[in-house]
Amino acid sequence: MQIIRSPKTYDVCIIGSGAGGGTAAKVLTEAGADVVMLEGGPMWDSAKNGAMFAWNYDSPTRGWGGDKKPFGVYDGCLGGWDIEGEPYTVGTGNWRWFRGRMLGGRTHHWGRISLRFGPDDFRRKSIDGFGDDWPISYDEMKPYYDKLDEFVGIFGSNHASQTGLHNEPDGIFMPPPKPRAHELLIKQACDRMKIPVVPSRLSIITRPHNNRPACHYCGQCGRGCAVHANFSSVSVMLPPALATGKLTIVANAMAREVMTNGDGLATGVSYINTADMSEREVRARIVIVAASCCESARLLLNSKSSRFPNGLANSSGTVGKYLTDSTGLSVSGFIPTLMDTPRYNADGVGGMHLYIPWWGDNKALGFPRGYHVELGGGFGMPGYGFMSGVHNFPQSRGGGYGADLKAEYRRYYGAFVSFSGRGEQVARPDCYCEIDPNVVDKWGIPVLRFHHTWSDHERLQARHMQETFRAIITEMGGVPTTNMPTREQDYGLAVGGLIIHEAGATRMGNDPKTSVLNSHSQAHDVRNLFIADGGPFVSQADKNLTWTIMALSWRTSAYIADERRKGNL
Amino acid sequence: MSEMDRRQALRVLGGTPAAALAFTWTAEEASAAAAQATQARAQAAARRQPYRPRFFTASEYATVVALADTIIPRDARSGSASDAGAPEFIDYIVAEQPARQTAMRGGLVWLDSECRRRFDKTFVSCAVGERGQVLDDIAWPARARRELSHGVQFFTTMRDLVATGFWSSRIGVDDIGYLGNRPVGEWPGAPAAVLLKLGVSYE
């Protein structure tokens, strides 16, 4: 079959429609660029395709979704860690790779936890000597975080002046919802322990905003919000881009390679139309790769030519290196005080109402980087796995059956809380992805092989999480429901990739010998090639990364618009 | 007219939950809708075929039903596990999860063997007291005799599946008191009685 080439040359081709790609499409179309966006998965509309207000009993599996829906049958994200026909392999250590395959990508999955990085997060090497500093500062990023807060809409509170946490910068927040009852109970214990508990910062609007209604508090953000009260690229970024008339979206387009010419410039993208397996090409003056951290690295590594034998934009050999995920582990506790609590509608927004930002002083702790804590508990909708393991519940009868057991289940509903730590891994060159020389996916595209291990920096941080969460549960008068894991068990750290916060595989820097991109996320080697996802990150933070992916993409896109105006691109 | 009846009525009349928020009913409309809904429910119940298991044989399924209703029986507040559709769920999920199949099938055989050994009858044929003698020996993992560990393992799994099947059903959701999955204008927070019980406040 012949390759089908688009007759038109677009100003910009964006690969990926998620957080980074969606933001770039909005900013660039509004600046007048003619943009084509390639998405590997199908079209998706939260209003039509979501499952808001569905009941678990309407599903024969009571909400269980299997490999195809690891977060439940009603989850609004298509994709997962295991996708049929799209393998990856693991060399050293272990790694799991979650991919979204739909318009809007993984913005349908994330918890809308929108934590802007703080001043320290851009200069960690200067502070503790590990990893590298970013080539940009918080002050350079602040205007873009502010634009995001204002345009997308986010609730939260400014607390730095009260908590003294200077690395948790103020933002532009809508009023946060009141805390849930169990969150107040957690806060009460943490207040005694001098651990700050503050309103969470989620990109869910609590006031009408830009023709989107305020949240109606059904707690189901993860299913796709039919009224667009939460953030997803599809709900918030793509509509204004489409309204300009300058955005063309091509779904089911699996990018294979970024094409280049004799001058070493990007000329477009070749892709597979997954609907009919045809080979296609689209031409563009500028290419923005926003396919997700590892997918973008894979695309560059697969874009080999005589001029770029190690892959595109990889003269430094850095593409794929310095791959990180957030550290993660959870501890649950049974809280006797919460037994027999009168019922109320505890749904609220689709996420915690309070959280714990990083409060520790790493100089005094023996590990360099911090973490934040996500709180769980309350009266959730019963579904698959509900009340599983009742025979092990602390202070329970230990099993049994019959009317007494039925009554016991009622007493334990809502009597558990959970603490999930999400922390910063120190970036290292020996955590990386590369092309597996022997394996291709079903589109014939060579796949990634991952190498990822934790170091003592992360293990000691994990031990601190475990000890802290257990201490909070004890302070609440409760009992942890799991035993303290050992050092050999990495203190309970989740396998890399399970937290779905990959970053760093195409990192930015001022030195072209040690970085892929400059401070505008522009490839050192190819001036009309940009990356707009987690790839450019020099380091993670003790904060989730999506808000920074979008702020970076906005900044990069504003730079591109400016360079285009000046005739430089 | 209860909220459930009203929602049911709206569904029968071709209305939607959104419509329910948009208009109010006269007494006549409400009672007419209720009557229609009651009739429709009765008709639907009469039409409903008994569930045909996808995984279990008929005799295995009878054992699953008996176990489920022993684990979560009807009481003053709500119906039993089988009233809530728990056996259907268990059959469906075991069919969907091949990794569970051998243990479930083998566990049921283990249970019948144990009952035969003691009473020369299958579990289903046993009297309530006889069933209880076997279950009491496997329903309490911490104090069960070691030689019964396979029965304990099976019963623990079954209890957890019954819990999902019952509590995530409509009957179970109403019983346990989950009050969400509905739109609210401004989320009001926890009521005073809850705050008082926990000793916390919004102040």
- pLDDT for B49 equals 76
pLDDT of residue A451 exceeding 50: yes
Helix (H, G, I), strand (E, B) or coil at A481: coil
Q: Which of B168, B184, B199 sits opposite A216 (nearest CB)?
A: B184
pLDDT recorded at residue A199: 98
Residue from A333, A347, A415 nearest A380 by CA: A347
In this complex, do B180 and A346 lie within 8 Å of one another by their Cβ atoms?
yes
Smallest Cα distance from B46 to chain A, Å: 20
Q: Does B176 touch chain A (CB under 8 A)?
A: yes
The rounded distance, in Å, linking the Cα atoms of A29 and A242 is 8
Distances (CA, A) of A91 to A95, A437, A504, B15: 9, 12, 19, 57
Q: Which of A329, A331, A327 is nearest to A473 (CA)?
A: A331
- Which residues of chain B make contact with A62, given a CB cutoff of 8 A? 89, 93, 164-165, 168
One-letter amino acid for residue B85 of the chain: G
Chain B CB contacts of A177 under 8 Å are 187, 189
Asked whether the beta carbons of residue B179 and residue A185 sit closer than 8 angstroms, the reply is no
Q: Is B196 on the interface with A (CB under 8 A)?
A: no
- Determine the average pLDDT of the residues in A163-173: 98
Here the tokens at position A42 are 């199908």
A370 near A461, Cβ under 8 Å? yes
Sort out which chain A residues have CB atoms less than 8 A from B140's CB and list them: 391, 398-400
Which residue reads 């009168």 in tokens?
Answer: A342
Q: Which long-range contacts (CB under 8 A, 24 or more apart) does B76-85 make?
A: B77/B175, B78/B171, B78/B172, B78/B174, B78/B175, B79/B171, B81/B162, B81/B165, B81/B166, B83/B171, B84/B165, B84/B166, B84/B169, B84/B170, B84/B171, B84/B172, B85/A57, B85/B165, B85/B169
Within an 8 Å CB–CB cutoff, is residue B49 touching chain A?
Answer: no
Calculate how close chain B gets to A395, using CA atoms only, in Å: 13
Indicate the pairing of strand A446-452 with strand A89-93.
Answer: parallel
Q: What pLDDT sits at residue A67?
A: 84
Pairing of strands A79-80, A253-260: unpaired
Other C-beta atoms lying within 10 Å of the C-beta of residue A488 = 6
Mean pLDDT for each 10-residue chunk of chain B (203 residues)?
39 34 45 60 66 96 98 98 98 97 98 98 97 98 97 98 98 98 94 98 93
User: Rounded to whole angstroms, how far apart are CA atoms A177 and A445?
Assistant: 46
What is the total residue count of chain A? 569
Helix/strand/coil for A286 = strand
Task: Give the other-Cβ count within 10 Å of B190's Cβ.
Answer: 27
Distance CA A248, CA A179 (A): 42
Predicted confidence at residue B45, as pLDDT, reads 62
Cα–Cα dist B159/A167, whole Å: 48
Average pLDDT over residues A224-237: 96
pLDDT (tens digit, 9 = 90+) per residue, A303-325? 999 999 999 999 999 999 999 99
Taking the CA of residue A464 and the nearest CA in chain B, the distance in Å comes to 27
Q: Do A386 and B168 touch (CB under 8 A)?
A: yes
Encode pLDDT of A483-538 as tens digits: 999 999 999 999 999 999 999 999 999 999 999 999 999 999 999 999 999 999 99
pLDDT tier at A450, thresholds 50, 70, 90: very high
Strands A247-250 and A35-38: parallel
With contact defined as beta carbons under 8 Å apart, do B80 and B89 qualify? no
Report residue B93 CA to chain centroid gap: 14
Contacting residues of A for B179, CB less than 8 Å apart: 343-346, 379
In eight-state DSSP terms, residue A237 is I
pLDDT for the residue B4: 40
Q: Which residues contact A68 (CB under 8 A, 6 or more apart)?
A: A80
Contact (CB<8Å) B167/A57:
no
Output the CA–CA distances (angstroms, integers) from residue A465 to A116, A314, A370, A459, A472, in the order listed: 22, 37, 10, 10, 11
> What is the structure's pLDDT at A6?
84
pLDDT at B31: 58
Query: Distance between CA atoms of A519 and A370, rounded to whole angstroms?
Result: 25
Q: How far is CA A559 from the centre of its chain?
A: 24
Whole-angstrom distance, CA of residue A408 vs CA of residue A397? 8
Helix (H, G, I), strand (E, B) or coil at A486: coil
Note whether A327 and A425 are within 8 A (CB): yes
Say what the ipTM of the complex is: 0.93
Give the residues across from A255 on adjacent strands: A271
Q: How many CB atoms lie within 10 A of CB A304?
A: 16
How far is B182 from chain A, CA to nearest CA, in Å?
6
Nearest Cβ partner of B168 from A57, A347, A402?
A57
Alpha helix ranges (H) inside A307-455 = 403-412
Contacts with B88 from chain A: Cβ below 8 Å: 60
Other beta carbons less than 10 A from residue A79's beta carbon: 22
Confirm or reject contact between B194 and chain A (CB < 8 A).
Answer: yes
Output the pLDDT for position B43: 65
* Min Cα separation B97/chain A (Å): 9
Q: pLDDT of A117-158, one tens digit each?
A: 999 999 999 999 999 999 999 999 999 999 999 999 999 999
Predicted confidence (pLDDT) per residue in A66-97, tens digit = 988 899 999 999 999 999 999 999 999 999 99
3-state secondary structure chain B: CCHHHHHHHHHHCCCCHHHHHHCCCCHHHHHHHHHHHHHHHHHHHHHCCCCCCCCCCHHHHHHHHHHHHHHCCCCCCCCCCCCCCHHHHHHHHHHHCHHHHHHHHHHHHHHHHHHHHHHCCCCCCCCHHHHHHHHHHHCCHHHCCHHHHHHHHHHHHHHHHHHHHHHCCHHHHHHHCCCCCCCCCCCCCCCHHHHHHHCCCCC
End-to-end CA distance of chain B: 38
Angle between helices B86-96 and B98-119 (to 10 degrees): 130
Q: Do A381 and B180 touch (CB under 8 A)?
A: yes
Closest approach of B185 to chain A, Cα-based (Å): 6
Please report residues of A whose CB lies closer than 8 A to that of B66. Answer: none
Q: How far is A278 from chain B (nearest CA, A)?
A: 34
Q: Which residue in the set B178, B188, B191 is minimally distant from A381, CB to CB?
A: B178
Q: What is the pLDDT of residue A174?
A: 98
Q: Is B25 on the interface with A (CB under 8 A)?
A: no
What's the pTM value of the predicted model, to 2 decimals? 0.92
Residue A230 three-state SS: strand
CA nearest to A17, candidates A238, A165, A340? A238
Alpha carbon of B101 to those of A170, A390, B56, B154: distances in Å? 54, 22, 9, 12
Sign of the dihedral through C-alpha A403, A406, A410, A411: positive
Task: Answer whether A66 sits within 8 Å of B96, measured CB to CB.
Answer: yes
3-state SS class at A389:
coil
Which residues in chain B have Cβ-Cβ distances shorter than 8 Å to A402?
70-71, 73
Cβ pair A41, A233 in contact under 8 A:
no
